[in-house]
Amino acid sequence: MASAPVTVTITGAGGQIGYALLFRIAAGDMLGPDRPVRLRLLEIPQGMRAAEGAALELQDCAFPLLHDVELSDDPRVAFDGCAIALLVGARPRGPGMERADLLAANAGIFGPQGAAIGEVADDDVRAVVVGNPANTNALIAAAAAVPGVPADRFSALTRLDHNRAVGQLAVTLGVLPGALRGVAIWGNHSATQFPDVAHATVDGMPVPDALAERLGGREAALAWLDDVFIPRVAKRGAEIIEVRGSSSVASAANAAIEHVRDEQLGTGGATTSAAVVSRGEYGVPEGLVCSFPVTSDGEGYRIVEGLELDARSRARFEASVDELAAERDAVAALGVL
Which region, judged by CB under 6 A, interacts with ligand NAD, from 53-61, 171-179, 245-253, 257-265?
245-253
Contact status: 320 vs ligand LMR (CB under 6 A): no
List residues bridging with 187 in a β-sheet. Answer: 291
Contact 155, 260 (CB under 8 A): no
Residue with smaller CB distance to ligand LMR, 6 or 129:
129
Q: Which of 162, 189, 199, 259 is catalytic?
A: 189
- Does 114 engage in binding with ligand NAD (CB under 6 A)? no
Contact flag: residue 135 with ligand LMR (CB under 6 A):
no
Name the β-bridge partners of 77: none
Distance CA 58, CA 176 (A): 33
Count residues contacting ligand NAD (CB under 6 A)? Answer: 28
Residue 276 as a binder of ligand NAD (CB under 6 A): the answer is no
Q: How far is the CB of 247 from ligand NAD (least distance, A)?
A: 5
Report 249-268 residues binding ligand NAD (CB under 6 A).
249, 252
Answer yes or no whether residue 191 interacts with ligand NAD by CB under 6 A. Answer: no
> Residue 44 interacts with ligand NAD (CB under 6 A)?
yes
Report how far residue 321's alpha carbon sits from residue 188's, in angstroms, rounded to the nearest whole number: 7
Torsions phi, psi for 245 (to 5 deg): 90, -5
Q: Which residues contact 218 (CB under 8 A, 6 or more apart)?
A: 208, 212
Segment lying near ligand LMR (by CB under 6 A), choices 67-75, 97-105, 111-119, 232-240:
232-240
Which of 79, 155, 82 has the alpha carbon at shortest distance from 124?
Answer: 82
259 is catalytic: no
Measured N-to-C along each axis, helices 207-215 and 159-173 cross at an angle, to the nearest 10 degrees, of: 40
* Separation between Cα atoms, residue 109 and residue 198, nearest integer Å: 38
The binding site for ligand LMR (CB under 6 A) comprises 132, 160, 237-238, 240, 247-248, 252
Known catalytic residues are: 189
